[in-house]
Structure 1
Amino acid sequence: MMTLTLANAQKIPAPKEHFGFSIGDDYHLATYTQTEAYFKKLAAASNRAKLVDMGLTEEGRHQYMMVVSSPENLKKLDQYKTISQKLARAEGVTEAQARTLSLEGKAVIWIDGGLHATETVGAHQLIETMYQLVSRQDAETKRILDEVIILLAHANPDGQELVSSWYMREEKPEKRTLDFLPKLYQKYIGHDNNRDFFMMNMKESWNIGRQLYVEWIPQVVYNHHQAGPAGSVVAGPPYRDPFNHVYDPLIITSLDALGAAMNSRLNAEGKPGYTQRAGSVYSTWWNGGLRTAPYFHNMIGILTEIIGSPTPSEIPLVPQRLIPNGATPFPITPQKWHFRQSIDYSVSLNYAVLNYAARHRDELLYNSYRMGKNAVDRGAKDTWTSYPKRVEEITKAYREDQKKAKVVSAGSGIPSKYYDSVMTNPSLRDPRGYILSAAQPDFPTVAKFMNALIKSGVQVHQATAAFDVAGKSYPAGSYVVKTGQAFRPHVLDMFEPQDHPNDFQYPGGPPVRPYDAAGWTLAYQMGVQFDRILDAFDGPFRALPYGELQYPKANLVSKAGLTGYTLDPQINDSYTVVNDLLREKIDVYRTSTGSFFVPATDQSKQLLEKTASPLGVAVTGVSERPAGTLEKISALRVGLWDTYGGSMPSGWVRWLTEQFHFPVEVVFPNTLNAGELSKKFDVLVFVTGAIPAVAGGDSGGRSYTRKEPKESEIPEEYRGMLGKISADTTLVHLQKFMQDGGTVFTIGSSTNLAFHLKLPVRNALVEIMPDGTEKRLVSEKYFIPGSILRVQVDSTQSVSWGMPGSCDVYFDNSPVFSIAPDALAKQTVRPLMWFANGTPLRSGWAWGQAYLQGGVAAFEASVGAGKLYAFGPEITFRAQSHGTFKLLFNVMYSSKKAGGMTATGE
């Protein structure tokens, strides 16, 4: 290993001086408390470092970013930040100005660590890299500091504190383990913290997003992860296909260049085991990750997945990885592996990226401008994106004409008229922009959608007066998002459907599962209404400042003689207001169509002004009570299943119910297994992963299994989280709970409960075998990974009040049901959502979607005096699917007829 000369060695503390061990020592991890203190020491001791507090975490810790560069550059950070912003946004910057700014500016490189806290290399390589950058005096480090501004960011302080404390709790090193962590390593969402970077629900995500998309807009974003594929050390760029169709091709070729620099660096240092492309599973299709969302912002997003643990491990023998090839040019042999080796590899990879940035500084800066300018230009003219479905249309038209003998085969090509018929078809153009009318029912949710875009650095406009576009009128306050802007790829990705290509292991073989989702269009998930505008347009539009979040307000109109106030159940935040009223003992009623009615009193008026107005919830004053019988409501006792170690789907539901002010209690299996559930709860909610499959089959959806520790293996404070859902104990108590009048609400794979209860429903996604038995459809025939589908909704039922007659749902090979005709006739089982046709795909990939036609996506079943609700789609998915939240919210109130309360009196 190279010998390093240290600057200010007497002043800058080495990690061992502070932590008591060197970074990478076997059996040792640093807590975040120790790490935070070390960051502060380095910032105080070094003139190469500036510590920035990005904001608080969900648990209230400070999340830090260390800005490292030469002392001269640190004095001019604002100037270099402005240059980076100007080039990235490409607003009013000429080609000549861009060239000049590229020479004046400094490359901005983001390197993070610790996002997935059990991947302990990440946070620790960050510490070591920081130390080396502020202390080394070699020529390469000096050149890097002169040419580059490095943003070294901690991605998950809470997680490092939990994981390191858990590991180090054992005094004897050999007994230390990362196994059996009692809860998720980021509050609410754990591993899904790397699935939140277009929504940015979590505080940590927005802390990071603010730096990436509003403040610094770096040219490269390097996100460290674990673990590399078996038989390798690290997987990195370039990545396998498919890549998304909406971003600039410079993203892909830049990944090739940086990947080559990283691979070559390791090879030159004699560090084997780097794999790329087909050597790993990672693609560049998906949005939402810390390294993938940057692609849609013209940034080079880098992911590496490296092996390593504080407990020494082994590189296993994987024979097929021993042969050098394009994926793994320098294979590694089986051997024992120590934590420090992973730290050294990571530092080398960081230096490879930083050295590349130093040597290609002006090129990185200019290319940032070039991609932004390309996006601005594409959004300002007629543009057609080459989606797979468009290519299929070209091929289909040609083949149909061949069959009709209207054309002669063109040999190796197809006549260009078939290209023109699709790719210059005016109706198939990309939009010039989108208008979201302020007149739509749930405008507060529109504002939340706008905030997701604003957090992502998108330029949003708002109308200052009423206006007309394409023959339609829009009121003042409507939002406008134009595509003629630098982050156009992200804008398209949030509004337009994803068109995932058919991807199979071989022709006729099984599909290759996307790394995460195939389709995620946020506008669809949130249920917002928007118009796609194909031609250039303008109006009385005010550009909102970058990063300025929207909080619409609604005035409460009050006048003499009011009987009360009504709130629209189509508005998600109406439920927030109602929950605040109920908490203050204000009477609230529901009408036969689901609207909320609040009798007029001085107290109710004051509370409505306090709660509804800031949320933008329109409250209508009425002089007469709503027609029909009103039912008084109250908050129910709701239990939300969770498990030892934590469930991410459960955590998301906990977070979103907190946002909408629903009182919910987390319930672990041991509580359920104790029985007498009716004494504690009115509603029990089970998310994907809670209810196991029936022996021999299941209803579909993803399932989660986790090894559970023995009581003796964990501290006493966590033992109440133990226990398992079992058919002979838990499910017996659940059945009794429903028979006694309780409600059980299931989502995703937890709809398996219907089969345990032997309800008259069955899995609809089966085929009849020659012997008459049913067999679940194989993936070669039917495969729908994480996509958006359209379903019909029975919005007359109380569980679906406020829902439209059809909606978009997030569907991940989710359960689909058939209901026995007799149960339908007797209405003991009632469909709530179903597929009206065989083409419900809205965004993503749906191979064999015709099998869905007529299938039931959700139902309500009577069980004794109680009810089971079964929702196959992921209606609370990652707290993104605002369009389907109400399906859960509506079951969280009790109701009883208010004696004599009708339209004519109380």
Structure 2
Amino acid sequence: MNQRFRYVITLFLLFFLHESQAQTVPSPKDHFGFNIGDDYQLANFTQTEAYFKNMAAASNRTKLVDIGQTEEGRQQFILIVSSPENIKNLDRYKEISQKMARAENLTDEQAQGMAIEGKAVVWIDGGLHATEVVGTHQLIETAWNLVSRKDPETMRILDEVIVLLTHANPDGQELVTNWYMRESKPEKRSLEYLPRLYQKYIGHDNNRDFYIMNMKESQNMGRQLFLEWLPQIMYNHHQRGPAGSVLAGPPYRDPFNYVFDPLMVTGIDALGAAMINRLNVENKPGLTRLNGSSFSTWYNGGLRTTTQFHNMIGLLTEIIGGPTPEEVPLVPQRLIPNGATPNPVTPQKWHFRQSIDYSISLNYAVLNYAARHSDELLFNIYRMGKNSIERGSKDYWTLSPKRIEAINQAYKTDQQKASATQAAASNSSGDPFGWNSRGGGMPVKYYDAVLKDPALRDARGYIIPASQPDFPTTVHFVNALIKNGILVHKATSNFMVASKKYPAGSYVVKTNQAFRPHVLDMFEPQDHPNDFQYQGGPPVRPYDAAGWTLAYQMGVQFDRIQDSFDGPFERVPYGELQVPKGQLATVSAKGGYVLSSSANQSFTTVNDLLKAGVDVFRIAGEMSGAGQGSFYVPAAGKAKEVLEKAGTSYGLTIIGVNQHPAGATTKVSPVRIALWDTYGGSMPSGWVRWLMEQYHFPIQVIFSSEIDAGNLNKKYDVLIFVTRAIPAMPGQESESGRGYTPKEPKPEEVPTEYRTQLGKITADKSIPQLKKFIEAGGTVVTIGSSTNLAYHLNIPVKNALTEMTSSGQQRPLPAEKYYVPGSILRMNFDAAHPAMWGMPTEGDVYFDASPVFKLAPDAAAKGTVKPLAWFATSSPLRSGWAWGQAYLQDGVAAFEASVGSGKLYAFGPEITFRGQSHGTFKLLFNQLYSTSSPQ
């Protein structure tokens, strides 16, 4: 047998082995009993997990990776698909992907070599929003296609691409599918009336968690995205498309975030072109893009959007379809071909399988692009990272609306100094902006005055002192950065920068790193443009929030350093979470211990102490190093044991005292807390439920039917109502009441165990019972639009954001005059009031078209209403967008009202917003204890 013949036989045997392996992988129909996309059929996670395990065991094109547990305890998986040769070398390709994304200590020549050696890494996920069932099912069908197909395109993809097929929400798929399939008759099946949130705590908001990663699923996926694989492309599947279209996709409408590298933006354009071209080649109309949909690239925090701040080409599509056939509706304006929708879809019956087919085409368009441009994608993510490192290493000015306004203002000021004759001549020259220079532009000196002003430079880095009042929360913020793959340094000894001293243990985050866009976004204010439908018209609502600066939300103190600096800094290894080191001072603790009211984890510790039967007191006066309202724990019983654990687990520094603190103290007692929720689940309520668990507050969930039944004081001391719980008074509207509200079925349409959860808070049944509860000594805490309760109870306050019409009627300010979508605003706090203990006199709050009040002239004087927080200036905006913000000045944002023997607390801003606003958690926590008379 000659050598050539043996070579041919070997190739034949390898091909036969490959084919036989591929044939052992069951098709979806063999496994599930139906084809993916069949009408009225859905697969649950148990079935999907088994299928992926079977596929991984049978195919050498796959590797199944367990990335962690979900909040309900299921395992979350990534199915890696590539050629058998690539599967054997995944560690090397992961290493290349990491090095290219971080761009550290690489020359262009080295990067080009690794770009050629490496493979493009593409993330495709599905199921994050579990009722958007196309997502999970296209994931199954995509896996089957990549494992079973042998056509040249698939083989090229397998050779050149590492595909990360990621299940984004196992718990949700199990819940939603089992709910849909519970009906034996297919035509009766429906995705409506799901009884609870499809993520244990936060439902739809699981796509708003990725810059802080509170949830386990977010942490699992974030670890893969930002620490392990760092893909060049991530594709996030969602529903639904705009009415009259099949789907919305890239590129997206403006504004995009100004911290992005332009290569990321144009990378989205390139992938978007590949995707729509593929659909057009296959005669699949109906993709709309740009201003054809509401989706933009401004917001951080989403599974897709956070990747964009890491130089990854983040893709989103929102498609129609589901297991129950539906109609593509007639929307006449969608039928005119234009740049946003060049290939309109016509009204027609739409089946689930069509959505699956579209999704497979889109996935293949992305993967084919990655296969053909693998080296380019790898080099481009390196180039973006290198650009960031260079920008953070020198003087750099990020362009944004406030900078352009500064240029315009400088020019306007000079123009006003000119003579009236010169101004008239300038304005008559046909230049509508008064720019009297060649080419219609301003003289360059106005650019230089702003964009070369040293005071307006971007930061070279941020110093986070270890000496701040709530350092454990600060470390939580640092860990959010670390989870996002940000490079952090820690000071090994005391140091000085810009004539200021900092203690050892302080953290340093420099901007000369690859993910500089994300660093800036977490520390700097977002400068959202004034975005209106037309001049003088209504505003265009942002896709989500307009401003969210996490350091502001968490109350983190930091210094912004504009010049190059260094010190005794050690590099924290990527992904190494920090543990704050607490301290229990026992040397001078004969009298007991003091916990600062400024530290959120003090409340966790107090709850642990109360559970252990240890006495706890609050100090009414100011105490050095601890603040007003701090907690005093006598040195007795289990106190030391619980506090030692708190110092270790929570990172608290606990002060020892020789004697009972001077001044009045009140004994702290636990209370019976109820948190409102509703059938189908409230996301704000779910966030608070999660928050209560984190800080060890025992709570009970309560529904409207229990409230309507009365006798609330027998079971509860405090009731919490998050936004969208209490309805508006007739004729009143609140923008903060917007958002997703689950539909409610008739009782006979849901299983018996859920029927007690049905119903809403109503003015005729619920409000009288709440009034009785407060009058009898109960406490009610309302947040956001649920501060409507104040109006139902005739508290002497009114809406501060109104105007008088020409007919003499009061009406809410129109959006053309006043509009504040989700943004960070600065407020003043009555820090001496017990409800506000632990707060600074000024601080940041998350404000989302939130209620603002004006007190009746004699309300405060009579003592019935006490302002707790207010806007002291005409420009409270810190981050985001606040059109007409001057209307907020002197408005009351929070108050306490006496009702009979009880209290109503009204907090207009979202003080617990998505588990992110740590800086205002104490506004809720302070109301969750009872205190006895001073001792």
* 8 Å contact kept, 2:547–2:879: yes
TM superposition score normalised by structure 1: 0.98
**Retained in 2: the 8 A contact 1:787–1:844?**
yes
Q: Counterpart in 1 of 2:880?
A: 844
Amino acid at match of 1:344: D
596, 604, 607: which is aligned to 2:642?
607
The question of whether the paired residues in 1 share the 8 Å contact of 2:588 and 2:656 is answered with no
State whether residues 193 and 742 of structure 2, in contact with CA within 8 Å, keep that contact through their aligned partners in structure 1.
Answer: no
Partner of 2:34: 21
Partner of 1:657: 692
Map of 1:471 onto structure 2: 499
Matched, 1:492 2:520: yes
Question: Are positions 1:773 and 2:824 aligned together?
Answer: no
**What letter matches 1:503 in structure 2?**
D
Q: 2:138 is matched with which residue?
A: 125
Instruction: Note if 1:678 corresponds to 2:713.
Output: yes
Of 877, 882, 890 in structure 2, the residue corresponding to residue 854 of structure 1 is 890
1:410 Cα deviation (Å)?
A: 1.2
Task: Report how many residues are paired.
Answer: 895
CA displacement at 1:320 relative to structure 2:
1.3
The answer to whether 1:763 aligns with 2:790 is: no
Unpaired stretches in structure 1, ≥5 consecutive residues: 902-906
Alpha-carbon offset, residue 330 of structure 1: 1.2
Among 670, 673, 680, the residue aligned to 1:645 = 680
Query: Does the CA-based 8 Å contact 1:629-1:897 persist in structure 2?
Result: no
Aligned partner of 2:6 in structure 1 is none
Calculate the TM-score normalised by the size of structure 2.
Answer: 0.95
How many angstroms apart in 1 are the aligned matches of 2:70 and 2:518? Answer: 26
* Aligned equivalent of 1:443, options 471, 476, 486: 471
Residue 332 of structure 1 aligns to a residue whose secondary structure is: coil
Whether the 8 Å contact between 2:618 and 2:629 is mirrored in structure 1 is: yes
Distance 2:591 2:870 in 1: 40
Deviation at 1:769?
1.7
Q: Are the aligned partners of 1:643 and 1:721 in contact in 2 as well (CA < 8 Å)?
A: yes
Shift of 1:254: 0.7
Answer yes or no: is 1:515 the counterpart of 2:543: yes
Correspondence 1:128-277 to 2 at 5 A? 128-277=141-290
Structure 2: tracts of 5 or more residues without a match: 1-17, 427-435, 621-627
Residue from 789, 798, 806 that aligns with 1:753: 789
Deviations 1:177-210 (A, max 9, x none): 1110000000110000000010100000010000
Displacement after TM superposition at 1:634 (Å): 1.3
SS in 2 for 1:297: coil
Alignment of 1:167-566 (within 5 A): 167-405=180-418, 409-411=436-438, 412-559=440-587, 562-566=590-594
The CA deviation at 1:128 is 0.4
Question: Structure 1 residue 741 and structure 2 residue 785: aligned?
Answer: no
8 Å CA contact retained: 1:699, 1:816 = no
Q: Is structure 2 residue 898 aligned with structure 1 residue 870?
A: no
Secondary structure (helix, strand or coil) at the match of 2:249 reads strand
Residue 897 of structure 1 aligns to a residue in which SS? coil
Distance in 2, matches of 1:559 and 1:514, equals: 55
Question: Which among 629, 645, 651 is matched to residue 594 of structure 1?
Answer: 629
Give the alignment partner of residue 606 of structure 2, picking from 578, 582, 603: 578
- For residue 9 of structure 1, report the CA deviation from its aligned partner: 5.0
| Contact 1:499/1:845 (<8 A) preserved | yes
Aligned mates of 2:351, 2:734 — CA distance in 1: 43
CA distance, structure 1, for counterparts of residue 757 and residue 836 of structure 2? 33
Does the CA-based 8 Å contact 1:577-1:612 persist in structure 2? no
Partner of 2:925: 889
* CA separation of 1:106 and 1:687: change in aligned 2, threshold 3 A: same
1:633 corresponds to: 668
The structural deviation recorded for 1:699 is 5.2
Greater alpha carbon shift after TM alignment, 599-608 vs 807-816: 599-608
In the alignment, the residues of structure 2 paired with residue 612 and residue 798 of structure 1 have an alpha-carbon distance, to the nearest angstrom, of 25
Secondary structure of the corresponding residue to residue 111 of structure 1: strand
Would you say the 8 A contact 1:699–1:751 is kept in 2?
no
* CA-CA distance at 1:216 after TM superposition: 0.4
Q: Are the structure 2 counterparts of residues 133 and 810 from structure 1 closer, same or farther at C-alpha, using a change threshold of 3 Å? A: same
C-alpha deviation, 1:554, in angstroms: 1.3
8 A contact 1:702–1:812 mirrored in 2: no
Counterpart in 1 of 2:14?
none
1:64-86 per-residue CA deviation (whole Å, 9 max, x = no partner) reads: 00011000001111100010010
Whether contact under 8 Å (1:699, 1:752) holds in the other structure is no
Aligned positions of 1:61-100 closer than 5 A: 61-100=74-113
- Which segment is superposed worse, 324-333 or 86-95? 324-333
The amino acid that maps onto 1:53 is D
How far apart are the structure 2 equivalents of 1:597 and 1:207?
Answer: 39
Cα deviation for residue 606 of structure 1 reads 1.2
Moved more, 622-631 or 346-355: 622-631
Equivalent in the alignment of 1:616: 651
Please give the alpha-carbon distance, in whole angstroms, between the structure 2 residues aligned to 1:201 and 1:531: 26
**Does the CA contact (< 8 Å) of 1:7 and 1:135 recur in 2?**
no
* Local SS of the residue matching 2:584: coil
Distance 1:534 1:10 in 2: 61
Q: State the alpha-carbon separation in 1 of the partners of residues 670 and 52 from structure 2.
A: 47
- Would you say 1:722 and 2:758 are equivalent positions? yes
1:109 maps to which of 107, 115, 122: 122
CA contact (8 A) 2:582 2:652 kept: yes
**Counterpart for residue 904 of structure 1:** none
Counterpart of 1:732 (choices 768, 776, 783) is 768
- Say yes or no: does 1:54 pair with 2:67: yes
CA deviation after TM superposition for structure 1 residue 405, in Å: 1.2
Q: How far apart in 2 are the matches of 1:61 and 1:834?
A: 45
C-alpha deviations, 1:279-316, integer Å up to 9, x for none?
11111111011111111000000000000010011111
1 CA distance for matches of 2:809 and 2:858? 21
| Partner SS state of residue 790, structure 1 | strand
Q: What is the CA–CA distance in structure 1 between the aligned matches of 2:576 and 2:278, rounded to whole Å?
A: 41
> For residue 704 of structure 2, what is the amino acid of its counterpart?
P
Q: Note the alpha carbon deviations across 1:832-888, whole angstroms, 9 max, x for none.
A: 110001100000000000100110011110000001000100000001000000000
Contact 1:553–1:617 at 8 Å: present in 2 too? yes
Does the C-alpha gap of structure 1 residues 699 and 319 become closer, same or farther in structure 2, counting only changes over 3 Å? closer
The amino acid across from 2:725 in the alignment is A
Distance 2:883 2:212 in 1: 27
Matched residue type, 2:129 = H
Deviation at 1:703, TM superposition (A): 3.9
CA–CA distance in 2 between the matches of 1:800 and 1:703?
Answer: 28
Contact 2:896 2:903 (C-alpha < 8 Å) held by counterparts: yes
3-state secondary structure, aligned to 2:367: helix
* Deviations 1:309-337 (CA, angstroms, capped at 9, x unpaired): 10011111111111211111111111111
Higher mean displacement: 884-893 or 411-420: 411-420
| AA aligned opposite 1:551 | V
Letter in 2 for 1:526: M
Q: Secondary structure at the match of 1:646?
A: coil
Report SS of the residue matched to 2:86. helix
1:669 corresponds to? 704
Q: CA offsets per residue over residues 695-752 of structure 1, 9 Å max, x none?
A: 0114552245443211110111111211221111110000000000100000000000
Cα separation, 2, equivalents of 1:335 and 1:389: 47
Q: Take 1:12 and 1:614, find their aligned partners in 2: how far apart are those partners?
A: 48
Moved more, 34-43 or 558-567: 558-567
CA distance in 2, matches of 1:573, 1:624: 24
